[in-house]
Structures are given as structure tokens and as C-alpha cells.
Amino acid sequence: MRTLIFILLCSSVGAASGQPAWPSKPIRVLTGASAGSAVDLRARLYGQKLGESLGQPVIVENRPGASGAIAGEALAKAPADGYTLLIASNSDIILNPLLNALRYDPRRDFVPIAVPIAGYLLLGVNADLGAGSVRELVRLAKSKPAGLHCGTNGEGTFQSYACAYFARVTQIQMNRVPYKGTSQAALAVASGEVELAMAVTFDFLPHIRAGKVRPLAVLGPQRLGSTPEVPTIAEAGYPGLDMSVWSLAVAPAGTAEPVLRRLNAEFAKAARHPDVEKSITATGGFYPPYSLEEVAAFVRSEHERWKRVVAESGIKAD
């Protein structure tokens, strides 16, 4: 009975105002990622499955630049009719608004739909460093007055804050070394150019398999399916250092609730498709099956947490 009522609600969207039932035309999915990037490819994979299920084409449009602000502003200006969505990273949704003055406010102008993929940073060290655990890494760092070098994908990114926050909690000296991306930072760890980095599992996996990088901890509350032998940071003796990374699907504020609930259900359905599930797990991620209310609460909690981390770290964007 509840399912029938839900379907009737969704089919009635627009009917009361004389508009066709949603969706009756193609849906645009904006992204601040460049074409061919991991975020772009996953957005297209989700778009394909959503289109098949909804019976309308889902077209991904790349609007790269300004740390996601170009795509974000385009969504903020779009009609709240369910035909324009945005898939953005947590840097776009959380860090960029905290660090920069934008012409829109994600908390005011967007409404969260789903988290297409989530994961946790992996703390990886050069295999020849001589640290087989997080505690050994901390002891090693404290024995070096000049500290260790942590590779990042630029100052003001999640990885740079992860390095700074880890150093603060463990009371060690950490020198941040910026690279053009997390894959370059992971490569720098493998080559010994820097001692460690905190990056997504996907960037570390080739070097872990080659024996060049040793993973010490997952910076999250659960172990990852791609590296089940790697302990969580709490298991390694340092609770409270969770560093989640995620993407978020949002719509313009004011979008009809039945449309939002339909989209939330469609993202969950797409995530269960073998192609999407394989893509998510291959990169060390997972799909959190949040309801609309749960995803909104999650984003609020992440904003408050990272607002505190940014303030305590004292580092700025490039």
C-alpha cells in the first residue's frame, strides 16, 4: 500500500498544476569534474542507469573550474523542477564554501538527494620507511626534529587538512608537500620522494600491490573491502581521526518532495546494479543507503565537523 501511494504521489507531480508528470523530458546532471575523470565517469555510469529506469535520457554536462563553483552556480540558477541536478565532491560542497566567497550557498540553495559514493582516506607510507603501524610511524616522526613529509593534492584540500589534523592529534611535525593530484602524491610515496600521504584507496592500490607502499590505516570507522587487512585508525590506536570522502547528488532548493524521494530511490536502485557496484567497490568505496532525511543530516554533520577542522588547522587554500 505504501509503495502504491508513493508511486501515485510521484506520478501526480505537476498533474495538479496542469504540467506533465515527472519526468517527461531529459534530465541534466552537472558536474564540476573534467571529462574522463573518475568523478565524471561515475556520474555517467549513474546517469545511464538512472535514464534506463526513469525512461528519459540523463545527460551529464561538465562544468569544471573554480573548485566546483562554476557547476554549483549553474545549479543554483536552475529551475527547481527536477530536470537539473548536480553531482559534486565533498570539497565542492563543504570546503569550497568554507574557504571562498561564493555567489551561492550550498546549504541554502541545494537540497541533498543521495551520496553516490563514499569512502575513507588511506594512510600509506613508503614500504622502506621502517614503520609497520601507525604507532611506529608516530614514534619515528617524533625522533626526527625536522618531521616527516606528507604528500597532498594541494594546500586547502581534504588531503592537506588530513595531514595537518593527523599531525595535530598525534603531536608530530608534518611538512605538507603539494602535488597536482592524489595520484601524483601516492606515486611520490612509492618512489620515496615523501614518506607518507593520505589518499583514496584507488590511487594507492597499484603501489600497494607492487610492494612500494605499505597501508597503515583506513581513516574511517570501518575496514574497506578492497583492503580488508588494513585496520581502521581507531583499531590502530587513534580514534577520532575519521576522514571520509564522498560525492553528493543535489537538486535546487524548492524541488518537489515526491521528485526528491523518487530520485533518492532511483540512486539506490542504480547503486545496486552490478556495473555500478563493481565500479564503486573497485575504488575502495561504498554506497550509503541514506534516506532523504539521513543524507541531509549527514551533510549537516560533515559541514560542522570540517568547519571545526579548518579553524583548528590554520591552513588556507592555495
Domains and CATH numbers, the chain: 2-118+246-313 (3.40.190.150), 122-218 (3.40.190.10)
* C-alpha cell, 141: 616522526
* C-alpha cell, 310: 579548518
Beta-carbon contacts of 229 under 8 Å, excluding residues fewer than 6 positions away, are none
Residue-level pLDDT at 306:
87
* C-alpha cell, 43: 556520474
CA distance to 12, 121, 174, per residue, from 242 (Å): 42, 8, 18
Residue-level pLDDT at 311:
82
Query: How far apart are alpha carbons 68 and 64 in whole angstroms?
Result: 6
Query: How far apart are alpha carbons 226 and 208 in whole angstroms?
Result: 11
**For 248, what's the count of Cα atoms within 13 Å in the CB-facing half-sphere?**
29
CB atoms within 10 A of CB 212: 19
Residue-level pLDDT at 36:
81
Q: pLDDT by residue for the chain (318 residues), tens digit each?
A: 444 444 444 444 444 445 679 999 999 999 998 888 778 888 999 999 999 999 999 999 999 988 889 999 999 999 999 999 999 988 889 988 888 889 999 999 999 999 999 988 999 999 999 999 999 999 999 999 899 999 998 887 888 888 998 998 899 999 999 998 888 999 999 999 999 999 888 889 899 999 999 999 999 888 887 888 999 999 999 988 888 889 999 999 999 999 999 999 999 999 999 999 998 887 778 899 999 999 999 999 999 988 888 887 766 655
Query: How far apart are alpha carbons 71 and 233 in whole angstroms?
Result: 34
Beta-carbon contacts of 48 under 8 Å, excluding residues fewer than 6 positions away, are 58
Strand 84-89 relative to strand 244-252: parallel, antiparallel, unpaired? antiparallel
Query: How far apart are alpha carbons 17 and 107 in whole angstroms?
Result: 28
Residue-level pLDDT at 131:
97
